[in-house]
Amino acid sequence: MKAHSLTTRVLRGTVFVTLVTALAGAATAALLARSLWQAHEHSTLLELAEGLAQAVDREAAEEGTTPESAAAEALRESVTSGHRAEVWRGRVLVTASAPGPPVGPPDGSKHAAQDAWLIETRPLRGGLMLVVASPRERGEEVLRVFGLSLLLSAPVCVVLAVLIGRLVGRRATRPLLDFRDRIRAARPFDPLPPAAPSEVLEVVELETSFRRLWDRLQETVSRELEFAANASHELRTPLTRIRLHAERARAALGAAPGAAPSQELRGLAEEIDRLVRLVDSLLVLSRDTAAGIPAGEVVNVSDLVTAASRRVFAGAPPPEIDEPDEALVRGDEALLGIAVENLLDNARKFSLPGRPPRVAVSEDGASVRVTVTSPGARIPPDVVERLFERFYRGPEARASHAGHGLGLPLARHVARLHGGDVRTVSQSAEDARFELALPAWRSMTQ
């Protein structure tokens, strides 16, 4: 369903209501005008009939003529154009004004010509019957003129409705938009900007609920991060102890006559280093990327790649490395080392046997890129983004390799802490290739 803005909805409602009101108003006003005209016309006809009747009486009394000739005389003198008058006795005797078929007879028997007329009858002396009529057409014209003029005013009403609707809509949504603007820039771990006083009850309530939810969310997230940070800090102390014990044991064994440095102790030291790195990873992941790296030092990414590849590929065929002597970035050397090491470790695990991974470092002034290619490894498209989820391990990784599913998420997190990113840049049909991009070193004084 497509979402529309509140203003649009208010606008639509206003226009609809205005249109309906205008149409209904036009119809009602037109009908009312016709009824009023009819009532007015009836009384006019009655007055006319009364006047004619008196005129006939007067004529007959003064001139002493027959009622028929008196009526003919009175009609000729008194009936104005636009009205019709007839005198009947069984049949039409006299007609005045407006030629056409007679509108009588007055006995009520209907015929077609009557429909077009508004008719009044009045008895005259001598058994004569007076019929006065006014054409209905004039009433219809009043109806048309009224209705049309009101209809023509509808567009004006609609334009007014749009203007008013927009104004009202904007006024009504302004507090909401303000609220949206205030929370739009909010990032996790930032306190929300202070609430602006709003006079709209719904907005106040909405903001209150939102703030409550936000606070709860912040609390949960920061508790989790705090837990990770605390846990890794707490783990350091026993790890320091274990490492010291192992080193002492190794030294003691080395000093004993005839004892060779034990394979087990070397393995133990390696495992301890692995644990230390895992603990470091938890600590790194508990940092918020928005915070960035507070005070970066100069780091040569080429050196990091050389050192990491020596550690990662110890005892294995080394990767092909193509790098300049220096590729400088600003950041935390230990963290960047972790990121590079994880990318190389990934490449080592997933390259086909006999095909060494390729690592390329490049610098173009704006950014430093480390591209790591694992020949023979294919990444199914549906897995690509999941690879960057914490603790996700692809089917291949689960089947054959040790790991925690933290390598790529960690590398990406470190890159983002530095304002860069880690992406996969290969198609599914090619060798798996990941790229670490970091902003190149720039003098802070520039």
Partner 1 sequence: MTARDAPCILLVEDDAETREAVSRVLADEGYRVVGVERGEAGTRALKAGAIAAVILDVTLPDASGFDLCRDWRAAGVRVPVLMLTARTDVSSRVRGLDAGADDYLGKPFALSELRARLRALLRRGSDPLRQRVLSVGDLSIDFGRRQAWLGEAEIPLTRREIDVLERLAWARGHAVSREDLLEEIWGESTPEAAASLEVIIARLRRKLEKGDKESLIRTVRGFGYALAGARGGPTT
Q: Catalog residues that contact partner 1 under the rule CB under 8 A.
A: 233, 236-237, 239-241, 243-245, 247-248, 272, 276, 294-300, 303, 310, 325-326, 328, 332-334, 441, 443-445
Q: How far apart are CB 436 and partner 1 at their closest, in Å?
A: 18
Q: Is the dihedral of CA 114, 115, 119, 121 positive or negative?
A: positive
Q: Which is nearer to partner 1, 300 or 342 (CB)?
A: 300
CA separation, residue 214 to residues 163, 227, 393 (Å): 37, 20, 32
Place of tokens 């291949």: 396
Q: Which is nearer to partner 1, 58 or 241 (CB)?
A: 241
Q: Which is nearer to partner 1, 60 or 299 (CB)?
A: 299
Q: Give yes or no for a contact between 415 and 372, defined as CB atoms under 8 angstroms apart.
A: no
**Length in residues, the chain:** 446
Q: How far apart are CB 267 and partner 1 at their closest, in Å?
A: 17
Q: Give yes or no for a contact between 371 and 425, defined as CB atoms under 8 angstroms apart.
A: yes
Q: How far apart are CB 421 and partner 1 at their closest, in Å?
A: 21
Maximum Cα–Cα distance across the chain: 170
Q: How far apart are CB 231 and partner 1 at their closest, in Å?
A: 12
Instruction: Give CA–CA dist 32/29, Å, rounded.
Output: 5
Q: How far apart are CB 397 and partner 1 at their closest, in Å?
A: 28
Q: Which is nearer to partner 1, 50 or 333 (CB)?
A: 333
Token pair for 259 = 């004892």
What residues are paired with 130 via a beta bridge? 87, 122
Q: Give yes or no for a contact between 312 and 437, defined as CB atoms under 8 angstroms apart.
A: no
Q: Which is nearer to partner 1, 336 or 437 (CB)?
A: 336
Q: Which is nearer to partner 1, 66 or 230 (CB)?
A: 230
What residues are paired with 121 via a beta bridge? 131
Phi-psi category of 410—alpha, beta or left, where left has phi over 0 and alpha has psi -120 to 50? alpha
Q: Give yes or no for a contact between 348 and 316, defined as CB atoms under 8 angstroms apart.
A: yes
Q: Which is nearer to partner 1, 213 or 244 (CB)?
A: 244
Q: Which is nearer to partner 1, 287 or 349 (CB)?
A: 287
- φ/ψ of 301, rounded to 5, equals -65, -35
Q: How far apart are CB 375 and partner 1 at their closest, in Å?
A: 27
Q: How far apart are CB 332 and partner 1 at their closest, in Å?
A: 6
Phi-psi category of 116—alpha, beta or left, where left has phi over 0 and alpha has psi -120 to 50? alpha
Q: Which is nearer to partner 1, 45 or 417 (CB)?
A: 417
The closest alpha carbon to 379, from 427, 338, 413, belongs to 427
What residues are paired with 131 via a beta bridge? 86, 121
Q: How far apart are CB 214 and partner 1 at their closest, in Å?
A: 29
Q: How far apart are CB 239 and partner 1 at their closest, in Å?
A: 5
Residues 6+ apart with CB under 8 A from 91: 105
